Structure 1
Amino acid sequence: MRKYISVALTLAFGLGAYAQDGLQRTPKGALYQVYTHNTGEKIKDGDIITFQYIQKTDKDSILYSTYVSGAPGKARIQPSQNLADLMEIFPLLTVNDSLLVKIPTDSLFKGHEEARPPFFPKGSNLNFTIKILKDQTMEAFMNDLKAAETASADKYIADHKITGLQTTASGLKYVITQLSAKPKPVLADTVLVNYTGRGTDDKVFDTSIESVAKATGIAEQQQGRKYEPIKVVIGAQPGQDGAVISGWNEGLQLLGEGSKAMFVVPSALAYGPQGNQGIAPFSTLIFDLEVVKIIHPKAPAKAAPKPAAKPGAKKPAVHKKVTTKKN
């Protein structure tokens, strides 16, 4: 009994120390102190929040800072899955609140001590200093991303003084920089295309041209790639050979063999809200393309026509199976 009383007193003194420092404890064991208590609606489940944060050790060594990176954190509020996701704490806050959060590293590295770095000794904390900048519904967040995409694309066009752009009903913008009098591809045609793709930040993310890959530094990311025109099958569905984003599928049908063009492809015709392999959600993409060759599918071979019967010729006899009755 004396042992249990001793443990209880130790815990009580420990909690008292936290309370004295203004720290509170979440059910999962994170410690926190809210420095400001702004009036306003609390953050709700499903909301998207934008926030600045600094990660530090107990010795005030900075591990990461969004102020330095220039990219505030974003998170969708959902039920907490682990101690470090901070989802127990965010719903206690409102916009402009700032706070300190201490995550015990003993909990973070429980069961895999071999992963504990030397700057997180036993009994230490991972410390977050956080300021909530924005709280939005998912709908408002998506609308902001769409507006930012439009502004980014417009700025790219203006900064590069791109003229002569035409816009299709779907929203694809294009300008043909080298005309061709040859026929345009149609459904099921295979088009061989050389291309370079970049974002509105002017960074090249992909190309089929070796000299461009080397000049822009992405050749290292594409080691082992064979630089040659890629094969696009007009109308191919996702998952099929030769399938491409819908902006390409539409735009290539405007170009004859030997044509060159620039496509400004909105995310709705590219990778949409999910993005793709380094391409951020809601990204307008810029492509310089050349149609190298158009290959039409081979027509199926026709069966040889049957020779016409000569006048007066008898029809061949039709042999029927004869069944003999047994007596």
Structure 2
Amino acid sequence: MKSKQFSILITLLLGVGMASCMKNLDNAGLVEAQRNDQEIKNYLLANKLQDSVTSTLTGLYHIITPANSGAKQTKGGEELEFTYVLSYIDPSNTSRAVVVDTANRTKSVYIPFLSGVVIPGLQEGLSLMKEGQRGRLYIPSNIGFGNDTRDGKMPAYSAIIFDVQLKRSRTEMQQIDDFVRIKKLSNPILVASGIPADTNKVRVYKTTQGTGEKITAGKTVTVAFTANMFRATTAFSKSDSLTFKLGSGQYITGFDKGVEALSVGDKAWLVFPSALGYGSQGSINQSGTYVVAPYTPLAYEITVKSVK
């Protein structure tokens, strides 16, 4: 099952049909983008913002404050936490912006910071920001929502404004540390994965100590499990009785190596980074929808039933 977080962002910030719109931008779309550029300039002039704004080669205009922040820069592959308000520039009165979406004015949204997750103009704007900064992004339709009207809330080919506050850009290890703290897990067993880098270890947190046989490589194990992304409200996979051979390569490394650290009767959390899960590719179902987004750390809740 998809992460609730991921599906919300696809709906709110990418838009229905946006991918095809961007790939097939016709002459009319280019004309609209040029019109948007003039609308943005008119808006900035009318509101005396022309000396505060910076533009990029893509047509994005932005004001980011404070300008000289020494905070952490956003980075691809991390998780971004931010709030936003979406508006569009009224084409009949370009000195005025019309608010479209305030649902996340104070409520944070979270995205894996990857190409294609949000519209190109918002992605570019976020890439220029640091933690704690506020950005006002003026985005023409060719790097915005194209001809998408946001369910009739704004005209097609609108020049839009995103008011964004970037709260955090978190590495996978920071996400893991936060998850462990929230779940109040402690005293991990660190299991080497065979993949280089000190971070590529499985953290095994036993919540119930079993009294049965110790599991070893090559054994056939039966477990019950739920597989979780940190921000999802439901498990993306689960089983009450899964039987498999350790080390067979049938399952992801973090799951396989984590189970090997357990004994029959153990209940535990296996927590590990995406390098031991679905990596930079993620996991996609037959309809082309992400089940697990790229660069997503995972947490498996395990009960070991038997080994032979």
Going from structure 1 to structure 2, the CA distance change for 1:27 and 1:168 (only over 3 Å counts) comes to closer
On the 8 A contact 1:66/1:72 being kept in 2, the answer is no
Distance across 2 between alignment mates of 1:270 and 1:123: 42
Going from structure 1 to structure 2, the CA distance change for 1:153 and 1:233 (only over 3 Å counts) comes to same
**1:100 matched residue in structure 2:** 136
Q: How many residues align?
A: 235
Going from structure 1 to structure 2, the CA distance change for 1:235 and 1:167 (only over 3 Å counts) comes to same
On the 8 A contact 2:100/2:154 being kept in 1, the answer is no
Going from structure 1 to structure 2, the CA distance change for 1:42 and 1:29 (only over 3 Å counts) comes to farther
What percentage of residue pairs aligned between the two structures are identical? Answer: 9
Question: What's the CA shift for 1:232?
Answer: 0.9
On the 8 A contact 1:53/1:72 being kept in 2, the answer is no
Going from structure 1 to structure 2, the CA distance change for 1:114 and 1:177 (only over 3 Å counts) comes to closer
Question: What's the CA shift for 1:199?
Answer: 6.5
Question: What's the CA shift for 1:197?
Answer: 4.5
On the 8 A contact 1:30/1:83 being kept in 2, the answer is no
Question: What's the CA shift for 1:62?
Answer: 1.3
Residue 67 in structure 1 maps to residue 98 in structure 2: no
Going from structure 1 to structure 2, the CA distance change for 1:128 and 1:203 (only over 3 Å counts) comes to closer
* Aligned match for 2:124, one of 79, 83, 87: 87
**1:271 matched residue in structure 2:** 277
Going from structure 1 to structure 2, the CA distance change for 1:27 and 1:20 (only over 3 Å counts) comes to farther
* Aligned match for 1:192, one of 218, 222, 225: 222
**1:53 matched residue in structure 2:** 84
Distance across 2 between alignment mates of 1:14 and 1:176: 60
**1:19 matched residue in structure 2:** 45
Distance across 1 between alignment mates of 2:122 and 2:99: 21
The residue identity in structure 2 corresponding to 1:263 is: A
Going from structure 1 to structure 2, the CA distance change for 1:104 and 1:12 (only over 3 Å counts) comes to closer
**Correspondence 1:103-182 to 2 at 5 A:** 103-105=139-141, 108=144, 113=147, 117-122=151-156, 124-133=158-167, 141-142=170-171, 145-157=172-184, 167=189, 170=192, 171-174=203-206, 177-180=209-212
The residue identity in structure 2 corresponding to 1:266 is: V
Give the superposed CA RMSD.
Answer: 4.7
The residue identity in structure 2 corresponding to 1:179 is: T
Q: Deviations over 1:98-121 (max 9, x none)?
A: 3432323377465xx587743232
Question: What's the CA shift for 1:66?
Answer: 5.6
Going from structure 1 to structure 2, the CA distance change for 1:63 and 1:126 (only over 3 Å counts) comes to farther
What is the DSSP-based 3-state SS (H/G/I as helix, E as strand, rest coil) of the residue aligned with 1:173?
strand
Q: Deviations over 1:121-170 (max 9, x none)?
A: 24633221123445x7xxxx53xx42442353254246xxx9xx773654
Residue 230 in structure 1 maps to residue 242 in structure 2: yes
Distance across 2 between alignment mates of 1:263 and 1:198: 13
The residue identity in structure 2 corresponding to 1:84 is: G
* Aligned match for 1:208, one of 214, 239, 251: 239
Question: What's the CA shift for 1:192?
Answer: 3.3
The residue identity in structure 2 corresponding to 1:167 is: I
Distance across 1 between alignment mates of 2:162 and 2:254: 43
On the 8 A contact 1:26/1:88 being kept in 2, the answer is no
Question: Structure 2-normalised TM-score?
Answer: 0.54
The residue identity in structure 1 corresponding to 2:179 is: S
Distance across 1 between alignment mates of 2:110 and 2:157: 29
Distance across 2 between alignment mates of 1:115 and 1:201: 29
On the 8 A contact 1:101/1:129 being kept in 2, the answer is yes
The residue identity in structure 2 corresponding to 1:264 is: W
**1:39 matched residue in structure 2:** 68
Going from structure 1 to structure 2, the CA distance change for 1:74 and 1:198 (only over 3 Å counts) comes to closer
On the 8 A contact 1:166/1:175 being kept in 2, the answer is no
What residue ranges of structure 2 are gaps of 5+ in the alignment?
Answer: 1-36, 89-96, 193-202, 284-290
Q: Deviations over 1:230-255 (max 9, x none)?
A: 23112212xxxx43544544534753
Higher relative contact order, chain-length normalized (CA < 8 Å, sep 6+): 2
